């Protein structure tokens, strides 16, 4: 579904790049696009760089930083047994956890400094998604990119918020949440509750993405 929403030539942000699978997939299928991928954990970042170099992609820009609503250096908790399990809190509740001090920026500041125009954001940061979006509120409001994000109750609870807080944040910016329904189809989503099974969500702007909404969203 993501590829259907990413035009070739788009600027894509892969926030929570891990070992580079998503960045490589988009870069291959959309060769005229540029993918900015962000991974704060040094070991994982080095692995991602090697993967990208081995595949000889020239349209991926790698960054050894994370995003939040504050700028600075912060402790990240990393479980070496699961490369994707790295976060600003110990979400795995493990004692044998590795701690790295990593550079963190805001989306607003990074985009302004680089003078970029973003078309699509993928965000998977193990529960800290709300803070990434808060740190990018100006860019989201001004540029209105498509957003694809993970939202899990068990992860967001570690950061003392609920996935519905993300939904409300985006609704204030005139976005609507959608989930995948069949091949290349989306359905409107309302609120997360105890029965919700979906974990991945798209946010489309009500006006800017109206043509995409008409094309891909199934009517109830």
pTM (predicted TM-score): 0.93
* CA 189 to chain centroid: 18
Walking along the chain (220 residues) 10 residues at a time, the average pLDDT comes out as 96 96 97 97 92 94 97 84 62 70 96 98 95 99 98 93 98 98 92 94 98 91
> In this predicted structure, what is the pLDDT of residue 22?
96
Q: Is residue 29 part of a domain?
A: yes
> In this predicted structure, what is the pLDDT of residue 77?
80
Q: Is residue 82 part of a domain?
A: no
Beta-bridge partners for 62: 37
CATH number at residue 44: 3.40.50.150
Number of folded domains that form the chain: 1
Residue 6 sits in which domain range?
A: 2-70+105-216
Contact 68, 104 (CB under 8 A): yes
> In this predicted structure, what is the pLDDT of residue 205?
99
> In this predicted structure, what is the pLDDT of residue 51?
95
Q: Is residue 80 part of a domain?
A: no
Query: Distance between CA 16 and CA 30 in Å, rounded?
Result: 19
């Amino acid at each position: 579904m993501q590829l259907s929403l990413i035009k070739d030539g788009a600027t894509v942000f892969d926030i929570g790049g891990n070992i580079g699978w998503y960045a490589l997939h988009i870069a291959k299928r959309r060769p005229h696009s540029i993918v900015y991928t962000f991974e704060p954990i040094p070991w994982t970042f080095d692995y991602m760089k090697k993967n990208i170099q081995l595949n000889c992609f020239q349209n991926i820009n790698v960054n050894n930083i994370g995003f939040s609503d504050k700028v600075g250096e912060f402790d990240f908790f990393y479980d070496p047994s699961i490369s994707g399990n790295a976060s600003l809190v110990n979400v795995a509740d493990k004692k044998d956890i590795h701690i790295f001090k990593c550079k963190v920026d805001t989306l607003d500041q990074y985009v302004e400094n680089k003078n970029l125009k973003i078309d699509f954001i993928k965000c998977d940061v193990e529960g800290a998604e709300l803070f990434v979006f808060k740190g990018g509120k100006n860019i989201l409001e001004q540029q209105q990119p498509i957003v694809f994000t993970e939202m899990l109750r068990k992860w967001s609870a570690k950061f003392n918020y609920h996935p519905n807080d993300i939904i409300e944040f985006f609704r204030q910016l005139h976005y609507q949440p959608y989930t995948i329904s069949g091949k290349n189809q989306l359905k409107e989503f309302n609120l997360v509750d105890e029965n919700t099974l979906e974990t991945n969500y798209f946010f489309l702007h009500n006006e800017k993405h109206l043509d995409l909404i008409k094309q891909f969203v199934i009517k109830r």
